[in-house]
């Protein structure tokens, strides 16, 4: 199973939010590029990055930081946040990222998701961020009236190569991921699923490893706060 250490970028800094709340954030002294270097040094191969500035305003903001990380460290990067058109996807793919995560734009416009999957085969990841079963959009500031599972059934044949499922109420809380809801998603998804939100310990990683159709797990706040040591975590990375 793949481990995806997380980097969330806001104002050129690494930050962590609690339940996606921009007013409830912790800033860390280390820069995103330095943090990526730290993950590379420990032997991680994959990286999950969210451009929170981009998510807030609906356009790409931190392309130069992503270019530097990919160019320096040769990590397999998945990137999301503010990608609302084909041109934005192309910029990131030209920068060398492995997967581009589409969230709000794909939920608001299913045709955009289909076009992206057709144009960039095996490069599109779908980010489904849910609160109480319903999808949230626009940096988690808006709730849609779409049920997660209903939406997934509608787009399941489009050719998405990876699905990232986040329970917003668990995100940044370190109370363990919502395995039950993630499993419901994994059972019907045509592509492998990444678990996101709430990882608190190595036990969460071990539990995730025992589940079907789970490709990996994203770990964020538990790393920054020192609850999970990178030396331990990298041993679980396969």
How far is residue 81's CA from residue 55's CA, in Å, rounded to a whole number? 4
More confident residue, 141 or 208: 208
Q: What pLDDT, on the 0 to 100 scale, is given for residue 21?
A: 86
Q: Give the global pTM.
A: 0.95
pLDDT for 174 beyond 90? no
Q: What pLDDT, on the 0 to 100 scale, is given for residue 230?
A: 97
Q: What pLDDT, on the 0 to 100 scale, is given for residue 22?
A: 87
Give me the active site residues, please: 8, 129
Query: What residue spans define the domains of the chain?
Result: 2-235
221 neighbors 196 (Cβ within 8 angstroms): no
pLDDT for 158 beyond 70? yes
Least confident of 1-5, 44-48, 71-75, 132-136: 132-136
Q: Kindly report, residue by residue over 176-221, the tens digit of the pLDDT.
A: 999 999 999 999 999 999 999 999 999 999 999 999 999 999 999 9
The first and second tokens of residue 236, run together, are 């679980």
CATH number of 2-235: 3.20.20.70
Which of helix, strand or coil describes residue 28?
strand
């Amino acid at each position: 199973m793949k481990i995806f250490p997380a980097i969330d970028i806001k104002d050129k800094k690494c930050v962590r939010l609690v339940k996606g709340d921009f007013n409830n954030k912790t800033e860390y002294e280390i820069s995103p590029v330095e943090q990526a270097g730290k993950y590379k040094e420990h032997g991680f191969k994959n990286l999950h990055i969210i451009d929170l500035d981009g998510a807030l305003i609906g356009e790409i903001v931190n392309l130069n930081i992503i270019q530097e990380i990919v160019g320096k460290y040769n990590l397999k990067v998945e990137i999301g946040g503010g990608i609302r058109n084909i041109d934005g996807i192309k910029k990131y793919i030209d920068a060398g990222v492995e997967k581009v995560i589409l969230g709000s734009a794909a939920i608001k416009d299913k045709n955009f998701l289909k076009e992206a999957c057709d144009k960039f085969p095996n490069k599109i990841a779908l980010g489904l961020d849910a609160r109480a079963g319903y999808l949230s959009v626009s940096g988690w500031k808006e709730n849609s009236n779409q049920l997660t599972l209903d939406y997934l059934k509608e787009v399941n044949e489009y050719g998405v190569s990876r699905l990232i499922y986040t329970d917003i109420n668990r995100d940044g809380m370190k109370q363990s991921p919502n395995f039950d809801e993630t499993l419901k998603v994994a059972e019907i998804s045509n592509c492998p699923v990444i678990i996101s939100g709430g990882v608190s310990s190595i036990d969460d990683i071990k539990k995730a490893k025992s589940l079907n159709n789970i490709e990996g797990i994203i770990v964020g706040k538990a790393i920054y706060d020192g609850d999970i040591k990178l030396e331990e975590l990298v041993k679980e990375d396969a």
